[in-house]
Amino acid sequence: MKQLFKPSLIKWSLIFLAILLLVKLFWLAIELFYLPASGINKTEEAGGKSLYYRVNLSPNKAAPKKAIKPSEAHGNIKDLELLAIYNAPDKTVVTVVYKHKSKILEKGEEINGFMLEDAGSTYALFSKGGKTYRVDLITEKEASTSGGIESSISSNTNDSSAIEGEVIDAGDHKIIDKSLLKHYATNMDDIYKNIGIQEMKSGNGLKFKITFVKRGSPFAKLGVRRGDIIKSINGQEINSYNAAFNAYKNIENVANLTLVIERGNKEMELEYEIN
Amino acid sequence: MQVVKKAFMILFAVWFAFVLFMPKRNLYYKVEQELKKQGIVINEGHISEGLFSLTVDDATVFLKGIDLIHVKHASFFTLLFYSSLEIDKIALDDSLRSMMPTKIDEAHCSTWIFSPLHINIEGSGAFGKAKGQIDLATHKVHLDFTKTGTLGPLKHQLKEGKEGLYYETTF
């Protein structure tokens, strides 16, 4: 009788199918006993506290100090031109030009009714009638041409490597220069040159502890110290990397900043105004 | 000769069945599980399995809970002795722009069974083109920039070598 298929072909086909079956069974066993049946997906964090702003409802307490607004050159503040600034930890001295005469002022001294409150690296803050006015340092070019009060910061804002702005102590709160905030918001690596933050396990979440603060840096001027634990930023609890990163990403858009820290066993609130 | 031929055929059948029936999706889930231990979570839009490949579309990579990397398309390919990973359109979070390029057009990683501890990598984007190796034995990354574009923050991290700019780091 004539055979339809060669016996060797049938034999090899059966061997091939047996191999396929064995390998399939092997993978099936691996899949069942070793490999997960579903993947891991991250669900969006729920329950994050929204941003809040402090409202003092206590009738017995004095009204909070009026926030210092960016100076709008109006009235006779325009008569003042800021020529030079000397800023030491214990002394602040500025040179101003008023009615074509230069005068050296110390913190607390007055000129034309305006009292010198503080000074940054490129500007001075004056107060009059409960209002605060900012006078920017005039650049050489401006001094030789118009002599007007114009911002000298704007010319440098494109240089991301240069750190502009200061943190000024205004008594009950501190004022952070917006350009300083912008610099750190766009140069994350510069933050870690000035401050060290270490994560610590805390229940299901994390805690962020400050391990060092560079002396004289803007971070030191913020009032934070080594050993402080950052609890929340603007009401947003900082208990995960995501929360910390979200706070960092939104930092450029906030007008006020409230930092809650744990120092020792006490909770402290640090308030900042972004100007 | 017949014995060699038979052995080769059996070996081929085993290899073919091994690659064909490999539960690629479940192996990918296993990789996800291992990555999670390192704080890396991948959320993928779509996963599809091919004969020798697995493709993942619209993936978001979370690093320690932070939504940092978006990948339009990634394709894993394996023949067991050769494996590769091709990634298209990688976008890193904009807040990292001061540290590294945030847009990478394509990246390609491959490894051979003969040198399993060496991963060849290639990438291109606005920064130009780079080619190099990840040495898992010495924990070293070396990247030669064959064509340079807008280097941006990378400029300060590159060194000048005999064959042009290169990047080197250890992990």
Between B7 and A147, the more confident residue is: B7
pLDDT > 90: what percent of chain B?
54
List pLDDT tens digits, range A7-50: 888 888 898 899 999 999 999 999 999 999 888 887 755 444 44
- Mutation target among A13, A24, A35, A239 for the B interface, most CBs of B within 10 A: A35
Asked if residue A198 is part of any domain, the answer here is yes
Question: Residue B163 gets which letter from DSSP?
Answer: T
Contact at CB, A189 and B32, closer than 8 angstroms: no
Residues A165, A148 share a domain: no
Residues A224, A171 share a domain: yes
SS3 B1: coil
pLDDT band at A67 (very low <50, low <70, confident <90, very high): very low
Q: How far A212 CA sits from the closest chain B CA (Å)?
A: 22
**Residue A178 tokens, joined:** 């917006």
Between A251 and B129, the more confident residue is: B129
Asked if residue A40 is part of any domain, the answer here is no
- Boundary-marking domain end, from A152, A176, A203: A152
- Give the model's pLDDT for residue B21: 93
Nearest residue in chain B measured CA to CA from A252: B95
Residues A173, A265 share a domain: yes
* C-alpha span between B38 and B32 (Å, rounded): 10
Q: Between B23, B62, B96, which is nearest A35 by CB? A: B23
A30 contacts in chain B (CB < 8 Å): 23
Nearest to A219 by CA among A81, A228, B38: A228
- Give the model's pLDDT for residue A147: 39
**Residue B126 tokens, joined:** 């606005």
Q: Which amino acid is at A189?
A: D
Q: Between A16, A30, A42, which is nearest B41 by CB? A: A42
pLDDT band at A73 (very low <50, low <70, confident <90, very high): very low
Contact at CB, B95 and A249, closer than 8 angstroms: yes
pLDDT > 70: what percent of chain B?
99
Q: Between B21, B30, B42, which is nearest A27 by CB? A: B21
- Mean pLDDT over A155-174 rounds to 61
Residues A270, A165 share a domain: yes
- Boundary-marking domain end, from A104, A130, A152: A152
- Give the model's pLDDT for residue A149: 35
List pLDDT tens digits, range A99-146: 777 778 888 888 888 888 877 777 788 888 777 777 887 764 444 444
Residues A180, A134 share a domain: no
- Give the model's pLDDT for residue A203: 79
- Total Cβ atoms within 10 A of residue B123: 21
Q: Is the pLDDT of residue A269 over 50?
A: yes
Residues A169, A141 share a domain: no
Residues A170, A258 share a domain: yes
Asked if residue A28 is part of any domain, the answer here is no
Asked if residue A18 is part of any domain, the answer here is no
List pLDDT tens digits, range B41-62: 999 989 999 989 999 999 999 9
Residues A115, A201 share a domain: no
Contact at CB, B41 and A39, closer than 8 angstroms: no
- Mutation target among A14, A19, A21 for the B interface, most CBs of B within 10 A: A19
Residues A210, A190 share a domain: yes
Nearest to B72 by CA among B31, B28, B106, B30: B106
Asked if residue A22 is part of any domain, the answer here is no
Q: For residue A215, list its beta bridge partners.
A: none
Q: Provide the residue range defining the domain that includes A105.
A: 50-152
List pLDDT tens digits, range B108-148: 999 999 988 999 999 998 888 999 999 999 999 999 988 87
Q: For residue A137, list its beta bridge partners.
A: A82
pLDDT band at A153 (very low <50, low <70, confident <90, very high): very low
Nearest to A98 by CA among A84, A112, A118: A112
- Boundary-marking domain end, from A97, A126, A152: A152
Asked if residue A124 is part of any domain, the answer here is yes
The answer to whether residues A147 and A155 touch, using CB atoms and an 8 Å cutoff, is no
Report the number of distinct structural domains present in chain A: 2
Question: Residue B10 gets which letter from DSSP?
Answer: H
Asked if residue A173 is part of any domain, the answer here is yes
- Give the model's pLDDT for residue B90: 92
Nearest to A70 by CA among A265, A255, A221, A240: A255
- Mean pLDDT over A67-96 rounds to 68
Q: Is the pLDDT of residue A219 over 80?
A: yes
Contact at CB, A35 and B21, closer than 8 angstroms: no
Comparing A78-82, A159-163, B116-120, B163-167, the range with the smallest average pLDDT is A159-163
List pLDDT tens digits, range A172-207: 778 888 888 878 877 777 787 888 888 888 877 788
pLDDT band at A253 (very low <50, low <70, confident <90, very high): confident
Q: How far B25 CA sits from the closest chain A CA (Å)?
A: 9
B29 contacts in chain A (CB < 8 Å): 35-40
CATH number of the domain enclosing A122: 2.30.30.830
> What does the DSSP assignment read for chain A?
---SS-HHHHHHHHHHHHHHHHHHHHHHHHHHHTS-SS---PPPP--PPPP-------SSSPPPPPPPPPP---GGGGGEEEEEEEE-SS-EEEEEEETTEEEEEETT-EETTEEEEEE-SSEEEEEETTEEEEEEBPPHHHHHTT-----SSGGGTT-TTS----EEE-SSSEEE-HHHHHHHHH-HHHHHHHEEEEEEEETTEEEEEEEEE-TTSHHHHTT--TT-EEEEETTEE--SHHHHHHHHHHGGG-SEEEEEEEETTEEEEEEEEE-
Residues A207, A258 share a domain: yes
CATH number of the domain enclosing A239: 2.30.42.10
b vs e for B128-154, b when ≥16 Cβ sit within 10 Å of the residue's Cβ? bbbbbebeeeeeebbbbbeeeeebebb
Residues A238, A201 share a domain: yes
A19 contacts in chain B (CB < 8 Å): 10, 13-14, 17
Q: Specify the pTM.
A: 0.62
Asked if residue A35 is part of any domain, the answer here is no
Residues A262, A225 share a domain: yes
Q: For residue A127, list its beta bridge partners.
A: A115, A132
- Mean pLDDT over A218-223 rounds to 86
